[in-house]
């Protein structure tokens, strides 16, 4: 049974027991998946307010603005929420590499029968 959260136009995120929702970030130009992170209510509000992606770090237990120290911020071009409002999709213009390793995307390795291999920049 659907409710207003499923079909309505009122933002009403369904945070998990830890107060988080999943955030998938893609490159607004290429469509490539750049990263997956988590947001709490404050991170989502700051992202909406500033137009720059903010997240909640589960490992550090703190709020962080992507690129605050590296300069590789994510300028939000489009922000969407899924049907049951427990995940967001950020289409962003990255100012540089998205991954903390320096890779363009956090998804720079492919899983195959032989194990892991690096993905070519053209892939």
32 is in an annotated binding site: no
Range 65-73, long-range pairs (CB < 8 A, 24+ positions): 66/37, 66/98, 67/95, 67/96, 70/96, 70/97, 71/95, 71/96, 72/96, 72/97, 72/98
82 is in an annotated binding site: yes
- Backbone dihedral angles phi then psi of residue 31, each to the nearest 5 degrees: 85, 0
CA–centroid distance for 72 within its chain: 14
6 is in an annotated binding site: no
84 is in an annotated binding site: yes
What residues form the annotated binding site for Zn(2+)?
Answer: 83, 99, 106
What residues form the annotated binding site?
Answer: 82-84, 86, 99, 106
What residues form the annotated binding site for Mg(2+)?
Answer: 82, 84, 86
């Amino acid at each position: 049974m659907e409710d207003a959260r499923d079909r309505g136009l009122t933002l009403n995120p369904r945070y998990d027991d830890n107060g988080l929702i999943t955030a998938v970030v893609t490159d607004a130009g290429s469509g490539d998946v750049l990263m997956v992170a988590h947001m709490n209510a404050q991170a989502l509000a700051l992202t909406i307010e500033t137009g720059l992606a903010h997240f909640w770090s589960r490992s550090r237990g703190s709020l962080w603005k992507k690129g605050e120290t590296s300069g590789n911020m994510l300028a939000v071009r489009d922000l969407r929420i899924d049907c049951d409002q427990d995940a967001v999709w950020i289409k962003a213009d990255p100012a540089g590499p998205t991954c903390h390793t320096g890779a363009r995307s956090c998804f720079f390795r492919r899983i195959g029968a032989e194990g892991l291999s690096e993905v070519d920049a053209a892939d």
